[in-house]
């Protein structure tokens, strides 16, 4: 297919992945599905061919290829004819190893990322728990620092690669009271005592070992903390766009394979003296599915292109995940129908495709959560701050904090009223010359809940109450705002965890640069 995103080199790569899947994987689909596991050797085989480090830099054994190679790989994984295989490989390359690459120490990268790319180690990401999935901030697994170790206790569930993994990236509460801000990511080697796994029996994805894990006094070296303490939620968010694109591209791939097989079947199956692909009632449904699928694929490519350009693609990746997974379920249901009774038996692949597609609207954020995110953008005009990954860090700049500047003023502000009034004195006119902006601040739980700040070129006026038509409305609590201004709370994290709502992120970015910070 000709595309503005894809080159001849992409096509060559697609063919090589397709050949590998057709020859080395698909013939074993029935066996691996029956055994409910993927043999270790296939990981190493893929590693040797460079299929497990497509987006990682060469220094770690990867290829450092553009994002469309990853999408093509994910689409072609569907040729394995096992949703479970595609999931296991997708999680390993695009989810479990993401935080290690972005935030891990060189030692962790050497011990876990490099072998993951080589296919000699398999990783798992452990966020969901028996009592919480969508609400990541509510996890209860704890990690307590004891000398040079973290001691982890709790339970995880739905862990892809959870039984046969060599290492686990575990989201833990290192500060139980701090909500999302108390989550840290800690790596545990599977050989460590204290981890018990139990393989779950599922409706589909049989070849993928999904497990519940019991973590009992699991003691790992303090150096296994990934990145900074308390930043785990932020790191998880950092990989969300790619995780959604992973599921979206896989869903597109599976749907195209299902459609292709169904078309071949319809050509040979006869009814009433002719192939069933001659019946208009079926032809129009195929035409609709093919059209929607092509449109959905283009949305995935667009979202991926934005992501590859270093743009924030939260809305587009959520839309792509929602659209492709819901569509994939419809494609499978329709294709199964076109197979008639043969769609319902295991001799043909449709029954498996149908079962496997079902989970796509649940994993990596449910359809309901995708709709919540999209609604926040299109209705509430919420803008998500950019969280660059290590892959983008050379080209992208780290988002500036929403408030505060690199220089401190002499002003100490301990109350909200002091803080707001001090804005006029902390204003840096050289930063706002020729620019005008009206800001409304709304503070919950405050004796002085409403404030208006007008920046008009080199002047800043602050008044209590709301006046004028604002360019930007900031809604938060007094405690959160004070913590941000005093440098105790990360502003981006506050936005991500909904503690701070900003109606116009562009205006707020300008605002944030216009003031000296209070002295802490």
Q: Which residues are catalytic?
A: 243
Alpha-carbon distance of 421 to 463, in angstroms, equals: 8
Nearest distance in Å: CB 365, ligand FAD = 6
| Residue 86 near ligand FAD by CB under 6 A | no
Nearer to ligand FAD, 61 or 83 (CB): 83
Q: Which of residues 428-487 bind ligand FAD (CB under 6 A)?
A: none
Among 159, 195, 350, 484, binds ligand FAD (CB under 6 A): 159
Nearest to 390 by CA among 281, 239, 289, 273: 239
Q: What are phi and psi for residue 155, nearest 5 degrees?
A: -140, 140
Q: Say how many residues touch ligand FAD, by CB under 6 A.
A: 21
Alpha-carbon distance of 220 to 199, in angstroms, equals: 23
Alpha-carbon distance of 416 to 402, in angstroms, equals: 17
Stretch that binds ligand FAD, among 25-33, 126-134, 384-392, 441-449 (CB under 6 A): 126-134
- For the chain, helix, strand, coil in percent to 5 are 50, 20, 30
Stretch that binds ligand FAD, among 121-129, 215-223, 258-266, 452-460 (CB under 6 A): 121-129
State how far the alpha carbon of 433 is from the alpha carbons of 66, 337, 436, 455, in Å. 40, 65, 9, 10
Among 128, 360, 452, 489, binds ligand FAD (CB under 6 A): 128
Alpha-carbon distance of 162 to 117, in angstroms, equals: 18
| Residue 363 near ligand FAD by CB under 6 A | yes
Alpha-carbon distance of 196 to 202, in angstroms, equals: 19
Determine contact, residues 86/94, Cβ cutoff 8 Å: no
| Residue 205 near ligand FAD by CB under 6 A | yes
Place of tokens 């409305």: 473
| Residue 38 near ligand FAD by CB under 6 A | no
Site string for ligand FAD, 385-424 (x = CB under 6 A): ----------------------------------------
| Residue 368 near ligand FAD by CB under 6 A | yes
| Residue 185 near ligand FAD by CB under 6 A | no
| Residue 116 near ligand FAD by CB under 6 A | no
Nearest to 320 by CA among 335, 337, 306, 303: 303
Nearest distance in Å: CB 254, ligand FAD = 14
| Residue 237 near ligand FAD by CB under 6 A | no
Alpha-carbon distance of 222 to 509, in angstroms, equals: 36
By beta-carbon distance, which residue lies closest to ligand FAD? 133
Among 77, 211, 248, 359, binds ligand FAD (CB under 6 A): 359
Alpha-carbon distance of 491 to 511, in angstroms, equals: 13
| Residue 91 near ligand FAD by CB under 6 A | yes
| Residue 362 near ligand FAD by CB under 6 A | yes
Determine contact, residues 444/478, Cβ cutoff 8 Å: yes
| Residue 350 near ligand FAD by CB under 6 A | no
Interface ranges with ligand FAD (CB under 6 A): 91, 125-128, 132-134, 158-160, 202, 205, 210, 359, 362-363, 366, 368-369, 372
């Amino acid at each position: 297919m000709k595309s503005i995103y894809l080159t001849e080199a992409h096509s060559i790569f697609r063919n090589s992945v397709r050949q590998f899947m057709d020859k080395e994987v698909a013939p074993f689909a029935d066996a691996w599905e029956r055994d409910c596991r993927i043999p270790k050797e296939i990981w190493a085989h893929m590693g040797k061919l460079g299929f497990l480090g497509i987006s990682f830099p060469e220094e770690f054994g990867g290829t450092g290829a553009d994002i469309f190679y990853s999408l093509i790989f994910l689409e072609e994984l569907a040729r394995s004819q096992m949703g479970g295989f595609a999931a296991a490989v997708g999680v390993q390359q695009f989810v479990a190893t993401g935080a290690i690459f972005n935030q891990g120490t060189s030692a962790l990268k050497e011990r876990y990322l490099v072998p993951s790319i080589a296919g000699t180690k398999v990783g798992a990401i452990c966020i969901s728990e028996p009592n919480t999935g969508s609400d990541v901030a509510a996890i209860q697994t704890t990690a307590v620092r004891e000398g040079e170790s973290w001691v982890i206790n709790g339970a995880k569930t739905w862990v892809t690669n959870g039984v046969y993994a060599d290492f686990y990236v575990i989201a833990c509460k290192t500060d139980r009271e701090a909500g999302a801000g108390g989550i840290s990511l800690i790596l545990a080697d599977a050989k460590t005592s204290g981890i018990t796994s139990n393989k779950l029996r599922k409706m589909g994805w049989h070849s993928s070992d999904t497990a519940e894990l019991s973590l009992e006094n699991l003691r790992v070296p303090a150096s296994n903390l990934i990145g900074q303490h308390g930043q785990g939620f932020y790191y998880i968010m950092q990989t969300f766009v790619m995780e959604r694109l992973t599921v979206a591209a896989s869903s597109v791939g599976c749907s195209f394979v299902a459609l292709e097989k169904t078309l071949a079947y319809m050509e040979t199956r006869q009814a009433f003296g002719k192939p069933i692909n001659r019946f208009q009632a079926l032809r129009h449904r195929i035409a609709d599915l093919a059209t929607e699928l092509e449109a959905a694929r283009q949305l995935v490519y667009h979202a991926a292109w934005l992501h590859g350009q270093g743009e924030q693609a939260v809305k587009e990746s959520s839309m792509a995940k929602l659209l492709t997974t819901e569509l994939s379920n419809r494609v499978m249901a329709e294709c199964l129908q076109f197979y008639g009774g043969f769609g319902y038996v295991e001799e043909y692949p449709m029954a498996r495709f149908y079962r496997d597609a079902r989970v796509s609207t649940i994993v990596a954020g449910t359809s309901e959560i995708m709709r919540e995110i999209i609604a926040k953008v299109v209705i509430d005009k919420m803008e998500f701050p950019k969280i660059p990954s290590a892959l983008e860090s050379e080209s992208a700049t780290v988002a500036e904090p929403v408030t505060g500047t690199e220089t401190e003023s002499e002003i100490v502000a301990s109350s909200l009223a002091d803080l707001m009034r001090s804005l006029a004195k902390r204003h840096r006119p050289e930063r706002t010359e020729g620019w005008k902006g009206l800001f409304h601040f709304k503070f919950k739980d405050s004796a002085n809940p409403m404030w208006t700040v007008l920046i008009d070129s080199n002047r800043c006026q602050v008044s209590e109450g709301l006046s004028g038509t604002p360019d930007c409305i900031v809604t938060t609590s007094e405690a959160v705002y004070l913590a941000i201004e005093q440098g105790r709370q990360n502003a981006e994290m506050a936005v991500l965890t909904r503690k701070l709502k900003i109606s116009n992120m562009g205006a707020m970015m300008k605002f944030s640069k216009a003031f000296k910070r209070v002295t802490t």
